[in-house]
Chain A
Amino acid sequence: MISPHDKSAAVADTLTGGPRRRRVRNGASRGVPLPLLVPALAGLAFLLLPLIALLVRAPWSSLPEQLTSAEVWQALRLSLVCATAATALSLVVGVPLAWLLARTDFPGRGLVRALVTLPLVLPPVVGGVALLLALGRNGVVGQWLDSWFGITLPFTTAGVIVAETFVAMPFLVISVEGTLRAADPRYEEAATTLGASRFTAFRRITLPLIMPGIAAGSVLAWARALGEFGATITFAGNFPGRTQTMPLAVYLALQNDPAAAIALSLVLLAVSIAVLAGLRDRWMTAS
């Protein structure tokens, strides 16, 4: 994928107020020192090389055939819908959580912060198993969901969204929390002295101020959700049209037909790049 860290740093720049364009121009006119340039180019090459290899070995002749397959579009649509829903879900609960971590002080906050980032280090398959144990039909909470509301998450599209949210939300929380920490909390105080409740201050002052960080976090979360494989296949299973997202389709295609897998990967890649580039342009011009 396109390196997400670059992006978050760039968006965060605009937040801290540094006029971004000017900075870029300065860097260019002064020249980039070699000890930075060489590793930077090496890093870029390292990230791009696998993508280039994918392009070089792509079965271009069979690509049209892949693209016209209904199953591919079904998986792609499901991927986009689920990743977007997971991002939305992450926003709804993740932004308040980030605020809580950044702006309030409560015992054990450090521990909570570490726990929030746990899904980042957890192998996604383990995350999927953990989700099954928690929200599965027989899970700690899932059994009550099932017996009280008749809700079962595994093997459903909702399950895909839950699995993707679990894996993607930490990216959003960390990104937003970092932005919140960098943002001056005194703006909230100023709003308070003008009669704003703490929530109004958050909604009308803090939220617009940290928007670039939220945007960056959403992009990270969305990208992560889109590529999610392990937790999804473990928790939600694999059924075309319902839970088979693109990464699952790619994985299974890889078993017997690597060419098809490469073609599918290219489709996923092209769509995500198009979406990310589009969003980024919009945000950059808006700020």
Chain B
Amino acid sequence: MTEASPPRLDTVAAGDAGLDARLVVERGPFRLDVTLAVAPGDVVALLGPNGAGKTTALRALAGLTPLTGGHLRLDGTSLDRTPPESRPVGVVFQDYLLFPHLSALDNVAFGPRCRGATKAEARAQAAEWLDRMDLADHASAKPRRLSGGQAQRVALARALATGPRLLLLDEPLAALDARTRLEVRAQLRRHLAGFEAVAVLVTHDPLDAMVLADRLVVIEHGRIVQEGTPADIARHPRTDYIAQLVGLNLYRGLADGHTVRLDKGPDITTTELLSGPAFVAFPPSAVTLYRERPAGSSARNLWRCEVAGLETHGDQIRADLTGELPLAADVTTVAAAELDLHTGAAVWATVKATQTHAYPA
């Protein structure tokens, strides 16, 4: 896909292709310790809440933040001591950081020029990249004249124009409004799919991560808490943060047959047969609410709760419940009105065992 030849690296040992890194960065009380292995052609998303260390990991990969420990190998070559300007790495920054005094074309040509191309060569390459991004008409535009989506593509072209072996994207869609985002996300997905080297993107948006990445790495407090395919992570969240991201109620306990005894709280009956530490998850839509204790209900999972908060969630109302079991429940607007839900209202919540999902912790 890249026209520009990547900078010459030391011998690339076969089988070592791709990224192999353990990033340790210590800064005051914060410690990042993340191990990443990504094959060429794969897109990995680092997902995590603000302050988890995603951006630090990205900066460490780019060489902008020095590692205090670990190692970093790309295609078999150690980059530990390589300064950022000598790394075969391209970065798309969060707010793109297009050089405001240079035209789109010169922004893209900047990399090839720095890597030794003549001015004419660099501009020719840049023109080709802009063409590929459908930006040929905007080649002479200064960044402030570009729309968000166009700027994002120029930033991508600029990062790719140096022929990087590792492409880093920091919140590539965060600066865009909702509509542009949809469109740009699709385009970015196409470009990433065509990229034959390693791509790592950082995001706090699970949708971006799931659409763009082949594999998710979830980071919390500087550590990896879970990694896997988007589908796997959506189905089996292992932390509250991930469960919230994917919209599930998640509990951890000790399984014994069809019952999971929660660490703090009641038992939950499930359909799976398990023993030992386990997670139980169910979506808010699986919860049914009653104002009076349902007489003769067969549901084993029945808890007395209190409404702590209500918010509109699409065409549903999401009730945040506390009590025997803290959980999120989705009810229709009509149901919410009939139940006369309000903050402080006492309710009974039930979940059918068939709608829960238990898996070993």
Contact = CB atoms under 8 A, between A and B. Distances in A.
Q: Find out whether A and B make contact in their complex, taking CB atoms under 8 A apart as touching.
A: yes
Interface in B77-104: 83-87, 89-91, 93, 97, 99-101
B111 interface: yes
A195 B114 contact: yes
Nearest to A208: B101
A114 interface: no
A20 to B, nearest CB: 14
A15 to B, nearest CB: 10
B361 interface: no
Interface residues of A, number: 19
A204 B85 CA distance: 14
22 contacts: A17-B144, A184-B97, A186-B97, A187-B97, A187-B99, A190-B91, A190-B93, A190-B97, A192-B63, A192-B84, A193-B85, A193-B89, A193-B159, A194-B90, A194-B110, A194-B114, A195-B7, A195-B115, A196-B114, A197-B114, A204-B110, A209-B99
Contacts of A187: 97, 99
Interface in B126-178: 144, 158-159, 162
A190 B86 CA distance: 13
Nearest to A207: B101
A81 interface: no
Contacts of A189: 64, 84, 97
Given A191-B110, A194-B162, A205-B99, 13 more contacts: A189-B64, A192-B64, A192-B85, A193-B63, A193-B90, A194-B85, A194-B110, A194-B159, A195-B86, A195-B162, A197-B85, A198-B85, A209-B101
A138 interface: no
Given A186-B93, A189-B64, A194 B111 contact: yes
Nearest to A204: B110
Contacts of B97: 184, 186-187, 189-190
B122 to A, nearest CB: 11
Given A193-B64, A205-B99, A200 B114 contact: yes
Interface in A249-286: none
Given A184-B97, A200-B114, A204-B110, A195 B85 contact: yes
B62 interface: yes
Contact of B100 (A186, A195, A197, A209): A209
A192 to B, nearest CB: 5
B305 to A, nearest CB: 47
Contacts of A200: 114
| Residue among B62, B93, B110 facing the most chain A CB atoms (10 A cut-off) | B110
A193 B110 contact: no
Nearest to B114: A195
A205 B97 CA distance: 11
Given A17-B100, A200-B114, A204-B110, A194 B158 contact: yes
Contacts of A209: 99-101
Contacts of A197: 85, 114
Nearest to B89: A193
Contacts of A196: 85, 110, 114
Contacts of A192: 63-64, 83-85
A200 B83 CA distance: 14
A103 to B, nearest CB: 14
Interface string A135-153: 0000000000000000000
Nearest to A195: B114
B141 to A, nearest CB: 16
Contact of A191 (B90, B99, B144): B99
Contacts of A17: 100, 144
B142 to A, nearest CB: 12
A198 B83 CA distance: 10
B99 A193 contact: no
Nearest to A186: B97
Interface string B108-132: 0011001100000000000000000
Contacts of B83: 192
5 A-B pairs with least C-beta separation: A195-B114, A194-B111, A190-B97, A193-B91, A208-B101
Contacts of A184: 97
